[in-house]
Amino acid sequence: MNIETPRAVVRSPVAPLFDEPRISSVQISQLLAGHPVELLEERDGWCCVQGADRYEGWMHRGYLEANRDASAHTRLSLGCAVTRDGGRRALPLGAYLAHDDHVVAGETIDVADQAHHFPLDAAAITRTARRYFEGTSYQWGGVTPWGADCSGLAQTTFALHGVQLPRDAWQQASAGVPGDDDPLAAREGDLLFFSDRADRHITHVAVSLGHCAIVHLALGRGGFGIEQLDDRSDSYVRRLVERFACARRVL
Catalytic-role residue among 47, 150, 161, 212:
150
- The per-residue pLDDT for range 8-42, each reduced to its tens digit, is 999 999 999 999 999 999 999 999 999 999 999 99
Superfamily of chain region 118-249: endopeptidase domain like (from Nostoc punctiforme) (3.90.1720.10)
Mean pLDDT on 163-190? 98
pTM assigned to the model: 0.95
- Which pLDDT score is estimated for 1? 41
- The per-residue pLDDT for range 215-248, each reduced to its tens digit, is 999 999 999 999 999 999 999 999 999 999 999 9
Spatial contact of 242 and 181, defined as CB atoms under 8 Å apart: no
CATH 3.90.1720.10 placement within the chain: 118-249
Catalytic-role residue among 47, 161, 212, 216:
216
Give yes or no: 201 in active site: no
Residue 3 has pLDDT above 70, yes or no: no
Q: Parallel, antiparallel, or unpaired: how do β-strands 147-148 and 244-249 relate?
A: unpaired
| The CA-based dihedral angle spanning residues 15, 207, 74, 68, taken in that order and rounded to the nearest 10 degrees | -30
Catalytic-role residue among 48, 80, 161, 204:
204
Give yes or no: 204 in active site: yes
Q: What percent of the chain has pLDDT over 90?
A: 94
Task: Tally Cβ neighbours within 10 Å of residue 15.
Answer: 21
Q: What CATH architecture does domain 7-70 belong to?
A: Roll (2.30)
